[in-house]
Structure 1
Amino acid sequence: MSTADSVVLLTGAASGIGAATARAFADDGWTVYATDIDSEFPADIRERCRCLELDVTDDEQIQAVVDRIIAETGRLNCLVNNAGYGVAGPVEDVSSDDVREQFDVLVHGPHRLAQAALPEMREHGGRIITLSSVLGHTASPGLGAYSAGKAAVESLTDALRIEVAGADDIHVSLVEPAWVDTGFADSALENLGDEARTPTYDRTYDALETGWVLTGGPLATTPEAVAETVLSAATDAPPKARYPVGAFATFVRWTHWLPARLQDPIHRGFGRASAFLGRWL
């Protein structure tokens, strides 16, 4: 896909993976519309991109942003669904309201944006890229709600890819990192409640707070590595359906094919071992 005069709409672009991805597209010559619910963008993003406020749970705001992009540039070549956050905690303990709000961002947000972008993309072709996670295939104790959201957006994206394949020259891809060195873990820990913790899950909480279940520890990749993968999904001819980020993400993704009697001890053991190591490293 040629990047000359190409336009990308990117959500969650004020920090982390989103900011790195905005820089990668700008370096490649794209016109970048960087959006976030938080309007405080890094200085270099403000200088190099067109920064807009966007809440992906707001239908009217989404349509207004897409309409503005079309009015200003005449096209929308690529949509990157990156906005998201994690609700952490055992399934029994997490609030259903918190899970519902997370789903509204992780699942309904990309759905709304695809609906807004597709009519324009039929005119010129285009790509829709959604940031998912290997946890959409292989759930982790303490991250069941987040894994469920990513599993849902994986299925939604798979269906969309099949539905739009053909004459309209629209392509749909998933980018699937494992852990990434961003503020994701800090945000999830801030919202991890101290009240109403079921004692049965003490080890799960320990793995979240002390271990590598949220951070990935030394296994985490960089936002820049994810950004380069997103750019590949936007420019490869033809693009792949899925882009795992790094060898470890590929490994975690394929453990999904193991029987549960093998998968379950691996996940429990990782949390306990990383909590132990986290106290000493």
Structure 2
Amino acid sequence: MTTAVLITGASSGIGRATAERLLAQPGFTVYATARQPEAIADLGRAGAKVLALDVTDEASMVAAVGAVEEQHGSVGVLINNAGYGEYGTIEEAELDAVRRQFETNVFGFSRMIQLVLPGMRAAGAGRIVNIGSMGGRVTFPVGGYYHATKYAVEAITDALRFETAPFGIHTSLIAPGLIRTGFGATASRTLAASGKAAGPYAALRAAADEQMATSYASPVLAAEPDAVASAVEHAVTSRRPRPRYTVTPAAKAIVQSRRFLGSGLFDAYLRLQFKSKK
């Protein structure tokens, strides 16, 4: 009998790369999900089971988990990947947009965990792999609310790992750095729409947008989605998965720099990085 792997947000980026990797692994039945199943029809042709799943819709989440459990008894592996970045300054960001971001990145993420856990506990086994971010340990300007969602993912994952270990459930956090997906474009688009062109934070927003574009284009700072998929694969297949995987050398360096520099020196570093060059 194969292990059922349920992946949220598989239409692009990290979710898609993970589905493609695990389809090549023996012993797994991969359930790839997206809000629009037609967006992942090619994964179905490659061997995945395709399901509709919107992590902001309760009925959708219940139906997807139920479909997997009907065939396998329980979800063997949950890869909690769905999420996005809504950018803007703390003062200017629309709180309705902030709420939508939390609904996906925190509440939908948490509800998926709640739905799969009873089956995993009954089976006495299971794995939960949560896709977080280096942004759950380091905060950059104009992304405060996004970072708050990823700090929440860190806290939830740490608590979950301890709470469920007695039931044979392994929990891992994947913390990527800059990955070349649609994330950067979404962050840039939402940042541009978040404040007035001549507002008090216009120069900061312009500098941040320039910094993001440069960083995502850098072969040193950014990586392809498969780098994250490789870490997910290890968390899923290893006999002893790690509690946390930080992906990309740049992400590891930034996290450690923030830890050792402290707030004052790190703020000084940010002032240099986010100074407008125009």
Given the alignment of the two structures, is residue 15 of structure 1 paired with residue 12 of structure 2, yes or no? yes
> In 2 relative to 1, CA 186–49 (structure 1 residues): closer, same or farther, beyond 3 Å?
same
Deviation readout 1:247-266 (Å, 9 max, x if unpaired) = 11111222332311111122
Quote the Cα distance in structure 2 between the aligned partners of 1:217 and 1:143.
19
8 Å Cα contact 1:89-1:142 kept in structure 2: yes
1:40-189 equivalence runs, <5 A: 40-47=38-45, 48-124=47-123, 125-166=125-166, 168-189=167-188
> In 2 relative to 1, CA 45–214 (structure 1 residues): closer, same or farther, beyond 3 Å?
farther
CA apart distance, 1:214: 8.6
Deviation readout 1:23-70 (Å, 9 max, x if unpaired) = 011111321111112323245312121111111012222111111101
DSSP 3-state at the match of 1:79: strand
Given the alignment of the two structures, is residue 263 of structure 1 paired with residue 266 of structure 2, yes or no? yes
Aligned to 1:24: 21
8 Å Cα contact 2:92-2:195 kept in structure 1: no
Uncovered stretches (5+) of structure 2, i.e. residues with no partner: none
Larger mean CA deviation between 43-52 and 178-187 belongs to 43-52
DSSP 3-state at the match of 2:158: helix
Quote the Cα distance in structure 1 between the aligned partners of 2:103 and 2:185.
21
Aligned residues: 271
Aligned to 1:33: 31
1:160-239 equivalence runs, <5 A: 160-166=160-166, 168-192=167-191, 193=193, 195-196=195-196, 199-212=199-212, 216-218=216-218, 219-239=221-241
8 Å Cα contact 2:8-2:32 kept in structure 1: yes
1:265-280 equivalence runs, <5 A: 265-272=268-275, 276=277
State percent identity of aligned pairs: 37
> In 2 relative to 1, CA 157–198 (structure 1 residues): closer, same or farther, beyond 3 Å?
farther
DSSP 3-state at the match of 1:84: coil
8 Å Cα contact 2:222-2:248 kept in structure 1: no
TM superposition score normalised by structure 1: 0.90
CA apart distance, 1:269: 1.9
CA apart distance, 1:217: 2.9
TM superposition score normalised by structure 2: 0.91
Quote the Cα distance in structure 1 between the aligned partners of 2:6 and 2:114.
14
Larger mean CA deviation between 133-142 and 157-166 belongs to 157-166
Quote the Cα distance in structure 2 between the aligned partners of 1:255 and 1:98.
31
Uncovered stretches (5+) of structure 1, i.e. residues with no partner: none
CA apart distance, 1:162: 1.2
8 Å Cα contact 1:26-1:32 kept in structure 2: yes
DSSP 3-state at the match of 2:139: coil
Within the candidate set 225, 230, 242, 1:240 is matched to: 242
Quote the Cα distance in structure 1 between the aligned partners of 2:81 and 2:187.
17
DSSP 3-state at the match of 2:39: coil
> In 2 relative to 1, CA 36–27 (structure 1 residues): closer, same or farther, beyond 3 Å?
same
